[in-house]
Amino acid sequence: MLSGIKIVEICGIGPGPFCAMHLADLGAQVIAVERETSTSITGEANAAKNSLNRGKRSVVADLKTAEGRETLLKLIEGADALIEGMRPGVMERLGLGPNVCLARNPRLVYGRMTGWGQSGPLAKAAGHDNNYIALSGALYHSGSAGEAPSAPITLLGDIGGGALYLAVGLLAGVLNARATGQGTVVDAAIVDGSAHMMQLMNGLRGRGLLREERGTSVHDGSHFYATYRCADDHYIALGSMEPQFYALLLEKLGLTDDPRFARQWDAKNWPQMREQLAQVFASRSRSEWCALLEGSDVCFAPVLSPREAASHPHMVERGVYFEHDGLLQTAPAPRFDGQRVVPGPVPRRGQDTEAVLAALDRGDLTAVWQG
């Protein structure tokens, strides 16, 4: 779907590489510019292969040298977009800021991925997903009253608020450049994206479904939209919001005539009803609840680990997970015309350096991007 879109990625950690992988999954041609070696957040050297580089070409370049900078500038001359995830000011100090790069290619979309953004009092401070989504308000309603807020932080921060917003921004910029001939700078900040994702939740306030006090709203306090522990210490997730789904839940649980559950939206009784349902779900194993509720309109699902999810019949039929190079990976999404997208192979670090540099020297742009 993105065939013909050319992207140069300056490799970093987290959302930038994921964004580039996502675009490569969808058909974009991506050249990942990597360091000779890199270290993980634990200080250890990273492996020669990185699954986030699937479908990309891998080129090693030292951007602190004149030679490395010139290699990057030559690459962006034929690119539609650049992805970088440095702290604000770093690319400028390297001599590779937006002004320099856009001078080489006025149609370039310069994508900047940060946590706090390119401006503001916190712009140059260090941070991680949990910090960004905490400040944006996205973490606040995760968890129950009396508990510390908890959420799948990387999914909500790096991926949801970061990588996917950068991807949309880049594609919007490329469309604009093709129409106008002018590139642009995309400032994608996780704190912005995760706040923007709250718009749906914030819209619930006007309907009285989202309250300021944690643990008193539908998503963090009700008994019909919650996660419960089972007898085998596994969990299930319930989302029986609509009246017809709630009525079916009560029917399945044999609680239709129980007056304690007659008033679904009586919020003052939610804690009591939640405790009573907790006792009900603790009486059977997760597999027993799956046998009774899964596939019905109760709005039910077991809480699975990624490894368990990979073997679930629904996920197997849709081909959501696969194994490659000994790693469990997820298939590209979304699908087009009902067809699964097949991701490209994972390159070794720097495996395309020699070929790409040679192609640049002879001006063979086709070989630069496609080999």
Residues tagged active-site: 128, 158
Q: Which helix (H) or strand (E) holds 214?
A: none
Exposure class string for 145-164: b at 16+ Cβ within 10 A, else e: eeeebebebbebbbbbbbbb
Q: What is the sign, positive or negative, of the torsion defined by CA atoms of 335, 340, 346, 352? A: negative
- How far CA 180 is from CA of 105, 176, 218, 219, in Å, comes to 14, 6, 46, 44
Q: Is the peptide bond before 98 cis (omega within 30 degrees of 0)?
A: no
Distance CA 82, CA 101 (A): 9
Give the type of residue at 200.
L
> How much is the CA Rg of the chain, to the nearest whole Å?
24
Phi-psi sector, 73: left (phi>0), alpha (psi -120 to 50), beta: alpha
Give the type of residue at 290.
C
Distance CA 99, CA 102 (A): 5
Sheet holding 184-189, edge to edge: 57-60, 29-34, 6-10, 81-84, 109-114, 184-189
Cα–Cα nearest to 61, from 357, 326, 280: 357
Distance CA 197, CA 367 (A): 40
Q: Which own/partner contact pairs does 223-226 have at CB distance under 8 Å and 24+ positions apart?
A: 223/270, 223/273, 223/274, 223/276, 223/277, 224/249, 224/264, 226/274, 226/277
175 beta partners: none
CB 2 within 8 Å of CB 25: no
Task: Give the angle 97-32-17 at the CA atoms, nearest 5°.
Answer: 85
